[in-house]
């Protein structure tokens, strides 16, 4: 009986030792099968013309999206449904004015960045595990995978803030340029093409290029400008779009509307400069006091230091 019991225990131990690696192998094989199935599945082109153009741009500018496109789109629909945009927030506006002109939607962005985070985390784990303990390597990899999407979202917000600041500074002069060209006989679309060609790489030119592409694709000027307003979420741009659309409804010459808007924007820019100068004057008071105190010590210290030393010696 003891021998039979020992045989049973030995059999169970051997089964447990074999079952663990087998379960790991099945899990890893299933994961590889799912990933390969998503990567190699047939890509369905969107029926909507604008969505198809957006997907093509994402494929050309994001390697991870191109390789994992079915997985990204499928998980995006499962996690977010048909809601393509987040509530109004700096991140939503930043996603619309994102770096390199990549037309992200909220589900595509989060799923793609999560996959990128997992890939980077696995790379960190592989590299760190070669030089240190496996537990530390696992912690480093998991931490990297967890914070990578957050860092990507933070970068989007920071980039959009810089782009909008540059855009506001250039907007009055661009409107003036469009107004002068229209007074010379050009139409609005030709003016936009000239502006985009002259200002390549500038955030303002990139936004006008998107509006121009929408107009060229068949959308009305009103719809393209409203999309520009919603995409940027800037008060000055909203006022400009409202003035242009209202002027078209009333039959007011567009060149006159643009001239008035450019003048108002220049006035706002000068007021903003005065406000920034006043704030800088307040902020520089404390550093100025520190500099003054340092200069006073340099002048007074050679006189007071010998007297203080004499008092201490006595």
The string of pLDDT tens digits covering residues 117-174 is 888 888 888 887 777 776 787 888 888 888 998 888 888 878 877 878 888 888 888 8
Predicted confidence (pLDDT) per residue in 18-65, tens digit: 544 554 455 465 556 555 555 555 455 555 666 777 788 788 888 888
- Half-sphere exposure of residue 143, counting CA atoms within 13 Å on the CB side? 8
Q: Do 149 and 53 sit in the same domain of this protein?
A: yes
pLDDT at residue number 52: 77
Residue 164's closest CA among 214, 230, 93, 224?
A: 93
Looking at the whole model, is its pTM more than 0.75? no
Q: Are 116 and 64 in contact (CB under 8 A)?
A: yes
Domains in the chain, number? 2
Q: Decide if 284 is inside a domain.
A: no
The 10s digit of each residue's pLDDT in 197-242 is 888 878 888 888 888 888 877 778 888 888 888 878 788 888 888 8
- What Å distances lie between residue 54 and 12, 59, 88, 160, CA to CA? 57, 9, 21, 19
Q: How far is CA 287 from the centre of its chain?
A: 34
Whether residues 119 and 174 fall in one domain = no
**Could you give the CA distance from residue 64 to residue 68 in angstroms, rounded to a whole number?**
6
Mark whether 127 and 66 lie in a shared domain: yes
Residue 196, both tokens: 């985009």
Domain presence at residue 113: yes
Tell whether 157 and 168 lie within a shared domain: no
- Tokens linked to 135: 């537990």
What are the structure tokens assigned to 259, written together?
């001239």
Q: What is the DSSP string of 137-190?
A: HHHHHHHHHHHHHHHHHHHHHHHHHHHHHHHHHHHHHHHHHHHHHHHTT--HHH
Q: Is residue 286 predicted with pLDDT exceeding 80?
A: yes
Q: What is residue 26's three-state secondary structure?
A: helix
Q: How many residues does the chain have?
A: 314
| 33 and 133 belong to one structural domain | yes
For residue 30, is it within any domain?
yes
Both tokens assigned to 17: 């030792």
Burial class (CB in 10 A: 0-12, 13-18, 19+), 121: buried
Greatest alpha-carbon pair distance for the chain in Å reads 108
**Closest by Cα among 197, 222, 206 to 97:** 206
Residues sharing a CB contact under 8 Å with residue 245, sequence separation 6 or more, in sequence order: 222, 225, 226
CA-based end-to-end distance of the chain: 100
What share of the chain has pLDDT > 90, as a percent?
0
121 and 234: one domain?
no
What mean pLDDT value characterizes the chain? Answer: 75
Specify if 120 maps to a domain. yes
Q: Is the domain of 25 the same as that of 132?
A: yes
User: Which are the contacts of 145, defined by CB distance < 8 A and separation ≥ 6?
Assistant: 117, 118, 120, 121, 122
Report yes or no: 98 and 104 within 8 Å, Cβ to Cβ: yes
CATH number (domain holding residue 228):
1.20.81
Instruction: Provide CB contacts within 8 A for 58, sequence distance 6+.
Output: 65, 66, 69, 102, 103, 104, 108
Task: For residue 84, name the pLDDT band (cuts at 50, 70, 90).
Answer: very low
Whether residues 156 and 190 fall in one domain = no
Extract the tokens encoding 151: 């860092």
Rounded distance between C-alpha atoms, residue 253 and residue 183, angstroms: 10
Residues 6 or more apart whose CB falls under 8 angstroms from that of 181 comprise 190, 191, 194
> Residue 187 sits in which domain range?
164-268
Q: What is the DSSP letter of 131?
A: T
């Amino acid at each position: 009986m003891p021998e039979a019991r020992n045989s049973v225990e030995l059999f169970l131990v051997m089964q447990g030792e074999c079952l663990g690696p087998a379960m790991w192998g099945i899990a890893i094989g299933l994961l590889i099968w799912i990933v390969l199935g998503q990567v190699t599945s047939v890509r369905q082109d969107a029926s909507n013309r604008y969505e198809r153009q957006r997907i093509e741009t994402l494929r050309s500018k994001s390697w991870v999206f191109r390789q994992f496109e079915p997985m990204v789109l499928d998980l995006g629909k499962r996690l977010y449904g048909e809601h393509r945009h987040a509530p109004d927030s700096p991140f939503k506006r930043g996603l619309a004015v994102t770096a390199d002109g990549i037309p992200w939607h909220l589900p595509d962005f989060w799923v793609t960045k999560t996959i990128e985070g997992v890939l980077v985390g696995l790379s960190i784990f592989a590299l760190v595990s070669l030089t240190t303990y496996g537990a530390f390597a696992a912690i480093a990899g998991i931490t990297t995978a967890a914070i990578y999407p957050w860092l990507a979202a933070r970068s989007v917000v920071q980039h959009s803030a810089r782009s909008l600041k540059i855009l506001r500074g250039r907007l009055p002069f661009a409107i003036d340029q469009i107004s002068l060209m229209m007074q010379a006989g050009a139409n609005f679309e030709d003016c936009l093409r000239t502006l985009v060609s002259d200002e390549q790489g500038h955030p303002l030119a990139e936004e006008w290029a998107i509006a121009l592409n929408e107009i060229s694709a068949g959308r009305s000027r009103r719809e393209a400008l409203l999309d520009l307003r919603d995409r940027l979420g800037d008060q000055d741009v909203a006022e400009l779009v409202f003035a242009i659309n209202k002027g078209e409804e009333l039959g007011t010459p567009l060149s006159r509307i643009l001239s008035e808007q450019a003048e108002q924007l220049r006035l706002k820019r000068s007021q903003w400069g005065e406000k920034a100068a006043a704030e800088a004057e307040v902020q520089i008071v404390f550093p100025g006091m520190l500099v003054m105190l340092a200069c006073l010590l340099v002048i007074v210290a050679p006189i007071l230091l010998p007297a203080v030393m004499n008092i201490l010696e006595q």
